[in-house]
Structure 1
Amino acid sequence: MSNFFSTTFRDAQLVSRDSQADEEVAFVEGTLGQGAYDILDLGCGLGRHCVRLARHGHRVVGLDINEDYIKVAKAAASEANVSVEWMVSDYRFLERRDRFDAVLSFYSTFGYHSDTENLDVLKRMASALRRGGYLFLEILNRDFPPYGEGYIRQESLGTATIFKKHQLRAIDSRLEMEWIHVSEQQYVETLKFEFRLYSLHEIISMLNSVKLSPVYIGSSISNPKFNIHGKKLFITAVRF
């Protein structure tokens, strides 16, 4: 898995989403209310949420499987003169219990494994929360029509272009993705990966089974009305 999250993925996805971090952090803090909180960011990437949250006085732990990402995140924290606890680890082995007021899982960090493993990950997220703590979960929506139809699109980043192919396997609801990276009209690499997509009723059932109750269901943090045919699904759930 760590080999997939290469420079191509970092440049195409994480850097391009940096401008959204302020809005996402504001949503988290608006949900938590005033005060300083213990927050865990799973799949923290380049640390864009962690650094901002730490700058606001929160006690933050950033976890990612990719050591190179953590190195970049550490440099960002150092430059911002903030303290963040960084962990290079697979979230499937998360062992912290009753430790956090919030767990963040943004940008489809969840779903790369089997259904059994994915449910166990949710259990670990829930266990990491104190009672009354919040899980902020962003995933891709199983019922987004283009996934079932299959589609190709391209993104340009300076002199680089990434061609993205997506196809949903209906039999097991796993999205197959192939990204072809071309730079200055020269082929660079092809990345292939897949992960499980969940419908709203599926993910709610899973959350309830691990003692997490949704309190916000939307197509994004700025759109609290869920669109069944929308591309994404954003849920805030509280541990009971």
Structure 2
Amino acid sequence: MSFTISSTWYQDFFTELPNEFWRQAMPPEATGADIDFTERHLELRPDARVLDVPCGSGRHALELAARGHRVTGLDISDEAVAHGRRAAEAAGLDVDLRVADLRDLPQDSSYDAAVCLGNSFGYLDLAGTRAFVEALAGSLRPGGGLVIDSSTAAETMLPHYQGGSQTMSVGDITMEARREYDVLRSRAFSHYRFSRGDEAVDVTAVHYVLTCAQIAALLTEAGFVELEFFGGPDDTQYEVGSGRLLVTARRS
């Protein structure tokens, strides 16, 4: 096993081919279910100010805007943000999409809610994740709500973890993935090849694996309260082996 990869891997990962694969792979009903969950648990009023970070190509941001919310989305990928802006314009939606690091959030305590959806929680090491959570708290008004999404929490990932390879095709793009786990630093590596015709991109993603207790501690230390843990947008209870973790909280 080789675990030599930059801690800022995400700065170069999200180019057009990987982004387009995930854009095609995610069905609209999955996006709708995520936003139904968010509106329900955060009790969003129709014109709520919502921060979506990282927003990727804007699938959640555009859905929120379509439902009448005022949305700001931030992402490190120039390609993803440009795609999201074009999609918003085509749909006639007013969405503020910006290129930025996920720790570089507005610190004006003006947002009613913030969402971190799409399994991007865990891109940073423990110190970076702490800074991210603190930045989220600084962006929210007192009482503002938060939703965090992860498929790599320890209680999700480790009970059934297997390395090995996987191949998946969506449209004209094929993804080949090989996974391995760095036990000493609690990191999950996903080595990808995305290919489309004669074009191919080889990239590696890293997720730092945190327990639910660690996630709860980070949120509590940053001033979040009323933490709840769910196993999916259908409000199932989170338990060991659940395929997904959704955490809701409020800024105190």
TM-score over 0.5 for the alignment? yes
Whole-angstrom distance in 1 between the partners of 2:94 and 2:202: 36
Whole-angstrom distance in 2 between the partners of 1:74 and 1:115: 32
What is the CA distance between 1:18 and its match in structure 2? 4.2
Corresponding residue for residue 193 of structure 2: 180
- What is the CA deviation profile of residues 62-121 of structure 1, one whole-angstrom value per residue up to 9, with x for unaligned ones? 111111111111111111212111211111222323111110100122222221111011
- Decide whether aligned partners of structure 1 residues 212 and 151 sit closer, same or farther in structure 2, where only a CA change above 3 A counts: farther
Corresponding residue for residue 49 of structure 2: 38
Which residue of 46, 67, 70 maps to 1:59? 70
Are 2:204 and 1:192 aligned? yes
What is the CA distance between 1:3 and its match in structure 2? 1.8
Q: Kindly indicate whether the alpha-carbon contact (under 8 Å) linking 2:24 and 2:171 is maintained by their aligned counterparts in 1.
A: no
What is the CA distance between 1:12 and its match in structure 2? 2.7
Whole-angstrom distance in 2 between the partners of 1:150 and 1:169: 11
- What is the CA deviation profile of residues 122-155 of structure 1, one whole-angstrom value per residue up to 9, with x for unaligned ones? 0000111111111110012223237743232221
Corresponding residue for residue 76 of structure 1: 87
Corresponding residue for residue 4 of structure 2: none
Are 2:90 and 1:117 aligned? no
Q: Kindly indicate whether the alpha-carbon contact (under 8 Å) linking 1:147 and 1:167 is maintained by their aligned counterparts in 2.
A: no
Residue pairs, 1:120-199, within 5 angstroms = 120-139=131-150, 140-143=152-155, 144-145=157-158, 148-184=161-197, 188-199=200-211
Corresponding residue for residue 37 of structure 2: 27
Corresponding residue for residue 208 of structure 1: 220
Are 2:18 and 1:9 aligned? yes
* TM value normalised by structure 1: 0.91
- Give the letter for the 2:175 counterpart: I
What is the CA distance between 1:161 and its match in structure 2? 2.0
Q: Kindly indicate whether the alpha-carbon contact (under 8 Å) linking 1:217 and 1:224 is maintained by their aligned counterparts in 2.
A: no
- Give the letter for the 2:97 counterpart: W
- Give the letter for the 1:98 counterpart: S
Q: Where in structure 1 are there 5+ consecutive unaligned residues?
A: none
Over the residues paired in the alignment, what is the CA RMSD in angstroms?
Answer: 1.9
Are 2:243 and 1:231 aligned? yes
Look up the SS of the partner of 1:111 in the other structure: coil
Whole-angstrom distance in 2 between the partners of 1:15 and 1:44: 16
What is the CA distance between 1:35 and its match in structure 2? 3.2
Q: Which of 193-202 and 37-46 deviates more?
A: 193-202
- Decide whether aligned partners of structure 1 residues 12 and 142 sit closer, same or farther in structure 2, where only a CA change above 3 A counts: farther
Whole-angstrom distance in 2 between the partners of 1:196 and 1:132: 28
Give the count of matched residue pairs. Answer: 239
Q: Kindly indicate whether the alpha-carbon contact (under 8 Å) linking 2:49 and 2:111 is maintained by their aligned counterparts in 1.
A: yes
Look up the SS of the partner of 2:36 in the other structure: helix
* TM value normalised by structure 2: 0.87
Report % sequence identity.
22
Q: Where in structure 2 are there 5+ consecutive unaligned residues?
A: 1-9
Whole-angstrom distance in 2 between the partners of 1:37 and 1:46: 21
What is the CA distance between 1:193 and its match in structure 2? 2.5
Whole-angstrom distance in 2 between the partners of 1:83 and 1:130: 22
